[in-house]
Amino acid sequence: MFGDLPPLESAAAIAQLAIQYMASPNGLVPRRFRPEPLQEGILARIPPWPRP
């Protein structure tokens, strides 16, 4: 969960992080691998969705 993001300018970064999040086996995307706008402003980490 991120805060203080400009909505229109952040859409592509959010979509890219969603892809990275889904590909991560443990729900973690290290800060250095996140899109630039999402490397700061972290408010919380959401646990991964359980896989069947």
Asked whether residue 45 carries a pLDDT value surpassing 90, the answer given is no
CA distance 29 to 52: 21
Is the distance from CB of 41 to CB of 10 less than 8 angstroms? no
Stronger pLDDT, 49 or 36, i.e. the higher one: 36
Cα–Cα distance between 33 and 44 in angstroms, integer? 17
Q: What angle do CA 38, 21, 24 make, to 5 degrees?
A: 130
This prediction has a pTM of: 0.76
Expressed in angstroms, the distance from the first to the final Cα of the chain is 24
Segment 35-49 shows an average pLDDT of 83
Q: What is the pLDDT of residue 51?
A: 67
Q: What is the per-residue pLDDT across 6-36, written as a single tens digit (0 to 9) for each?
A: 888 899 999 999 999 889 888 789 999 999 9
Query: What confidence score (pLDDT) does residue 17 get?
Result: 92
Instruction: Give dist(CA 51, CA 21) in Å, integer.
Output: 13
